[in-house]
Each structure stands twice: as structure tokens, then as C-alpha cells.
Amino acid sequence: MDQGITFAKQYQLSLGVALSAKANGKFNHRHGVSMLNSPSLIPKKDKEGNLITHTQEALVPKLYLRPANTATARLQPDGRYSSIEG
């Protein structure tokens, strides 16, 4: 977690804001999660029972995975391809 905080401070990242091209380039050698603002449809029913929706911003996790290392990656018995070590 400390590494994530250090990375966020170094590249001036804010909660809900996508990575800049520069930060994304530096981020591609490690795994991580960023919380981004994303519009979400919220369903509701009015007094008569009619379904209505409205849009609301919500923080949504975006997962970043480092590129696979084909030299160490393995096909798992259940069919998953894993490039994660340790």
C-alpha cells in the first residue's frame, strides 16, 4: 500500500481521475487498481410503480495488470493462463 501512495504522490494522481499517459507508461510493469469516476444508471420506481432511471457518478475499480512474461507464464489445470509469479 505504501508503494501505491508513493506512486500516486509522484505522479500527482487523484481519486477518480484516470492515469496520464506518462503515469500509465510507468505503471505497466506492475499490478494495481485505480478508482475511476464512472456514470452508473440507478433504477428506481416512482409512486405508481413505473421504473425510472437516473445517472449517478460512482467510483469504479480499474484493474491494471503488468504484461505477461511468456517465459514464466503457465497454463493452469483449470484452463486459466497465469503470468503472475509469487
DSSP state, residue 30: S
Q: How far apart are CA 63 and CA 19, in angstroms?
A: 12
pLDDT confidence of residue 52: 92
- Give the bridge partners for 47, in sequence order: none
pLDDT at 27: 66
pLDDT at 51: 93
CA distances from 29 to 26, 64, 69 (A): 7, 9, 11
What pLDDT, on the 0 to 100 scale, is given for residue 50? 94
The pLDDT, as a whole number, for residue 35 is: 85
Rounded-to-integer distance, Cα 62 and Cα 36, Å:
7
pLDDT tens digits for 27-69? Answer: 665 677 788 888 988 899 999 999 999 999 989 888 777 666 6
Task: Name the CA dihedral angle for 13, 14, 16, 18, rounded to a multiple of 10 degrees.
Answer: -20
